[in-house]
Structure 1
């Protein structure tokens, strides 16, 4: 049985959104003078039950979006979906890669894309599940055609980036030993330009959900020490030098970190379950902010200073995005009904969001939107999404289903 572990993490939000979609119209539900403008808003192949997990800007002013398509909503085989768009989200081309799940995508300096993907298989009963994974680095040309594929056995990959030397860095985790449900080790793999591993480092007892190559030639990993329970205090960041030597390893009073970005002054901003925060270049906490039940799957930098956090409300299943000042104070926010947001990136004139739009109780479409900053943002509260009614829906749905099977 193949299982997308990222969907396992997101299952609560997705299931709630399925019920909400049946009774609410799709669209923006939070709008005021402190809300961003939605410049464009598109869906892809609604008949195929698609979703997007990530979006990145491309050198030509467009975007590259990574996601998946399902043969059936539950129990069908999953294929990776890669879509190139213009600057307004209109499709230029798409490519699919059968029976693998999406993790990350980046445009490469010489043109084309590097894609991170994985397979995770499970065996045993619900009480005694065992997991094994294989990950892949896929090099695609400028039209999405596969040029080569490198496998990384035993790894569940989370992110990939091109490095200054023309190689790549892949970050994720291993089940250690293979087949174990609870014992994991975060892993970073440095490769050459053909995807051949040059070195790797592991960190037992942790799992990395995010990672970046830093401006000084090193790397930062983010994740959790409790990937199956998300206990407070287990969110971590690890900083490495260019050779993979650990510079610092800090835990924070958060359960998990899903995304991390380097700021212009060499600090690091992160987002995760219920919290977002900023640390200095030595990993010392600068500030930590609570999101009141929201899960931040993506964080990006604001050109004016400050940050953008996007994700999904675990109580209602609605997507959200908000912008902050440099101290983490929320300046603007908006939410989207029947929509889960899993990726976000800065764009020349604002920000691009990626996720899933629930069209009915059994139909969904991959979704992209472009938003621009409000004209005069002012401090405001964190988004509120009608959690009480949606929470009841969530409990009913979770009682019947915990994961895609």
Structure 2
């Protein structure tokens, strides 16, 4: 009899281990905490409705073509800038300027460049209705590559161009400004000048592109700027990255002459990508960070600063786990309602794998998501910039492998309308156990009302650094149940938030506290067996068979 009991114990352990592995194989993290919804109700989040895609046009041939930036012009059309006829990423090709009408029909296009790689990064319509272009050129200049400034008339005909740089690698990025004195300002990085390997670089010219001054910002390490904007006090704000012991997003504020007033690092982050000054005089920043919160690869990080660069709040976007999952916003713009529009690329918004899709997100002034829009196909599709249009919509530039011709990447423009969407109400405080033991599963429930009656999804924050992905869909007001177990003892605050079918997100619920305490010591193997069988009733038929009952 004793031998039979020993065999039963061994089999119980093996059966239990197999059952647990089978039940949670798609829902466990590295620490073996478990999260799942009960009953299982995971669906595809449809974000294809909501904001209307008014038109979608591609440009290019059988090589690599891309638009880095787009802007609406004074005649109601649009001008886009990038590169064409490259043989691969940033290898070969010319700087490319394309003018389209209000419906995306091409009116004219111009290329600028020589025998090597030349790409356009920044575009601005100037006071004389012409255009100023910031770019990088390997065909001209003094070194491996130079920052490049090109002035054209209203039809893209070149009027003059200037290069800036030394014998090493120098470039201008996606911002170019016309200053009050009629001159221009460009930003980027330089290996030829400054204090270290690569420094952030700001160049001021007169109206003919003649350099008036340039400033470098950095240390003996690597620094780079992506954007510069004029601030309300007449100075400038720049964003990029700094790399020392670690890599951080970097914001630098200067006066009108480029003298640094303050700088702030936030991170760790791969880089700061975009910045805008807000109505309150502060700044909203976008950064690209390793996803240590939700378990993906890369995530978009939004940081709100006051006018002196002090952080007021920050936000990351909920994504599914997986080292191949990414969700990165490349560009942010202030909208007319004092919210923000963000544009980037993701394969992590839907709970199904995609190579990469254009990702457009509208948020309010407090960082709450009002709606999201996903546009793409079977190939890799991305966007780099977004601009506001005079009709209240948005124009987005990027590249696509899903649409167009030639089998490689085509330059891409998409026009999207705005959309009025009410966010779901804050879910009720989660209900469920208030105490428990480690590794035991507990069920919690909550619900939220969607003001428009739309279906909703729920994400759970388990208070230990782990999150569920979006569970659902559920009808408005329908209860969502989720099951979770904690590995370690401690006090944990459980919260839940809701998302509607257009991507609008609620606030997090009020917390529900659960105290996980050390398991009670069992005095005898038979007490252990009794408790074990009570929590695993499906094992009774197996035991009866083993005992011959």
1:343 to 385, 395, 400: 385
Match of residue 208 from structure 1: 225
What is the distance in 2 between the residues matched to 1:366 and 1:75? 14
Please state how far the C-alpha of 1:265 moved relative to its aligned partner: 3.1
User: Do the aligned residues in 2 keep the contact of 1:210 with 1:260 (CA within 8 Å)?
Assistant: yes
What is the distance in 2 between the residues matched to 1:381 and 1:251? 35
Please state how far the C-alpha of 1:114 moved relative to its aligned partner: 0.4
Change in CA separation of 1:371 and 1:249 when aligned onto 2, cut-off 3 Å: same
Please state how far the C-alpha of 1:94 moved relative to its aligned partner: 0.7
Q: Is the radius of gyration larger for structure 1 or structure 2?
A: 2
What is the distance in 2 between the residues matched to 1:245 and 1:177? 17
Aligned positions, number = 341
Verify: 1:107 aligned to 2:118, yes or no: no
User: Do the aligned residues in 2 keep the contact of 1:320 with 1:336 (CA within 8 Å)?
Assistant: yes
User: Do the aligned residues in 2 keep the contact of 1:300 with 1:309 (CA within 8 Å)?
Assistant: yes
Task: Tell me the alpha carbon deviations over residues 360-398 of structure 1, each in whole angstroms, 9 at most, x when there is no partner.
Answer: 89422111011112232426989xxx9xxxxxxxxxxxx
Q: Secondary structure at the match of 2:330?
A: strand
Please state how far the C-alpha of 1:200 moved relative to its aligned partner: 1.4
Q: Name the stretch that deviates more: 291-300 or 144-153.
A: 291-300
Please state how far the C-alpha of 1:133 moved relative to its aligned partner: 2.6
Task: Tell me the alpha carbon deviations over residues 183-238 of structure 1, each in whole angstroms, 9 at most, x when there is no partner.
Answer: 210011111101111111111242111111223221111000139x9x55x10111
Change in CA separation of 1:142 and 1:352 when aligned onto 2, cut-off 3 Å: same
Q: Name the stretch that deviates more: 158-167 or 355-364.
A: 355-364
What is the distance in 2 between the residues matched to 1:364 and 1:167? 35
Match of residue 320 from structure 1: 359
User: Do the aligned residues in 2 keep the contact of 1:224 with 1:255 (CA within 8 Å)?
Assistant: yes
Match of residue 284 from structure 1: 310
Q: Name the stretch that deviates more: 140-149 or 83-92.
A: 83-92
**Relative contact order, CA 8 A, sep 6+: which one is greater?**
1
List runs of 5+ in structure 1 lacking aligned partners: 1-28, 122-130, 387-405
User: Do the aligned residues in 2 keep the contact of 1:120 with 1:156 (CA within 8 Å)?
Assistant: no
List runs of 5+ in structure 2 lacking aligned partners: 1-44, 289-299, 320-325, 349-354, 425-455, 459-468, 470-549
Please state how far the C-alpha of 1:266 moved relative to its aligned partner: 2.3
Match of residue 144 from structure 1: 156
Q: TM-score, normalised by structure 2?
A: 0.58
What is the distance in 2 between the residues matched to 1:260 and 1:47? 34
User: Do the aligned residues in 2 keep the contact of 1:209 with 1:223 (CA within 8 Å)?
Assistant: yes
What is the distance in 1 between the residues matched to 2:457 and 2:343? 15
Change in CA separation of 1:73 and 1:172 when aligned onto 2, cut-off 3 Å: closer
User: Do the aligned residues in 2 keep the contact of 1:36 with 1:372 (CA within 8 Å)?
Assistant: yes
Aligned-pair Cα RMSD in Å: 2.8
Deviation beyond 3 Å, 4+ runs, structure 1: 46-49, 71-76, 359-362, 379-382
What is the distance in 2 between the residues matched to 1:134 and 1:190? 15
User: Do the aligned residues in 2 keep the contact of 1:209 with 1:222 (CA within 8 Å)?
Assistant: yes
1:169 to 161, 164, 185: 185
Match of residue 503 from structure 2: none
Match of residue 108 from structure 2: 93
What is the distance in 1 between the residues matched to 2:253 and 2:457? 33
Task: Tell me the alpha carbon deviations over residues 281-306 of structure 1, each in whole angstroms, 9 at most, x when there is no partner.
Answer: 11111221113432211111121121
Please state how far the C-alpha of 1:177 moved relative to its aligned partner: 6.2
User: Do the aligned residues in 2 keep the contact of 1:174 with 1:185 (CA within 8 Å)?
Assistant: yes
Change in CA separation of 1:75 and 1:284 when aligned onto 2, cut-off 3 Å: closer
Q: TM-score, normalised by structure 1?
A: 0.77
Match of residue 17 from structure 1: none
User: Do the aligned residues in 2 keep the contact of 1:187 with 1:208 (CA within 8 Å)?
Assistant: yes
Match of residue 251 from structure 1: 265
Match of residue 25 from structure 1: none
Please state how far the C-alpha of 1:76 moved relative to its aligned partner: 5.8
User: Do the aligned residues in 2 keep the contact of 1:70 with 1:76 (CA within 8 Å)?
Assistant: no
Match of residue 366 from structure 1: 411
Please state how far the C-alpha of 1:172 moved relative to its aligned partner: 0.7
User: Do the aligned residues in 1 keep the contact of 2:62 with 2:407 (CA within 8 Å)?
Assistant: no
Match of residue 60 from structure 2: 45
1:309 to 325, 331, 342: 342
Hey, which of these two has a bigger chunk of strand by percent?
1
Please state how far the C-alpha of 1:252 moved relative to its aligned partner: 1.2
What is the distance in 1 between the residues matched to 2:278 and 2:336? 11
Match of residue 300 from structure 1: 333
Match of residue 420 from structure 2: 375
Task: Tell me the alpha carbon deviations over residues 276-330 of structure 1, each in whole angstroms, 9 at most, x when there is no partner.
Answer: 2221211111221113432211111121121111111276322201000111111
Verify: 1:191 aligned to 2:205, yes or no: yes
Task: Tell me the alpha carbon deviations over residues 76-126 of structure 1, each in whole angstroms, 9 at most, x when there is no partner.
Answer: 6211110111122221111111241121111111210100111359xxxxx
What is the distance in 2 between the residues matched to 1:272 and 1:87? 32
Q: Name the stretch that deviates more: 264-273 or 141-150.
A: 264-273
